[in-house]
Amino acid sequence: MSEILENYMDTKTNETVKAMKFTDANKNQVFNAITCTREPIFINGEPAIKLRSPIGYQIVMFNDYIVKEGEGLFYAHKGSDFTERYILLTYIEEDYKKYKEAKQWYIQKIQIMYTLYIILMN
């Protein structure tokens, strides 16, 4: 299951959650990863999942997200609602890596400029 669960940050609480996006490409893998009561169904000819969550039954359609909140506890979130609130952590990690690289570059430039200043002032 860990292969399809990804870490997301909740932009309102800064907490990390594990979630998976339900797509045509991973529908079987997602269905098999869910450990609570679930049932495959079809809506308008497309596969969907009827998911039993702590708040009752929820329908998961393609491009919706399923959040794991504990052992056997899963919640469904509509795709657009989820992407407005949660950020995939790999994006944050990539941005932080770019920031650290840029910061290191500026530090090196400042050190060179300071060294040149010292040389010129002597």
- Residue-wise pLDDT for 77-99, tens only, equals 999 999 999 998 876 566 667 77
Mean pLDDT of 88-116: 79
Q: What is the pLDDT of residue 36?
A: 75
How far is it, in rounded angstroms, from Cα 84 to Cα 86? 6
How far is it, in rounded angstroms, from Cα 45 to Cα 52? 21
Separation in Å, CA 101 to CA 67, 105, 109, 119: 33, 6, 12, 27
Whole-angstrom Cα Rg for the chain: 23
% pLDDT > 90, the chain:
38
How far is it, in rounded angstroms, from Cα 83 to Cα 86? 5
* CA quadruple 49, 38, 12, 96: dihedral sign: negative
Mean pLDDT of 33-47: 86
Per the CB < 8 A criterion, the answer to whether 65 and 19 are in contact is: yes
% pLDDT > 70, the chain:
91
Every domain of the chain and the residues it spans? 6-88
What are the tens digits of pLDDT across the range 54-75?
899 999 999 999 999 878 789 9
Q: What is the pLDDT of residue 94?
A: 66
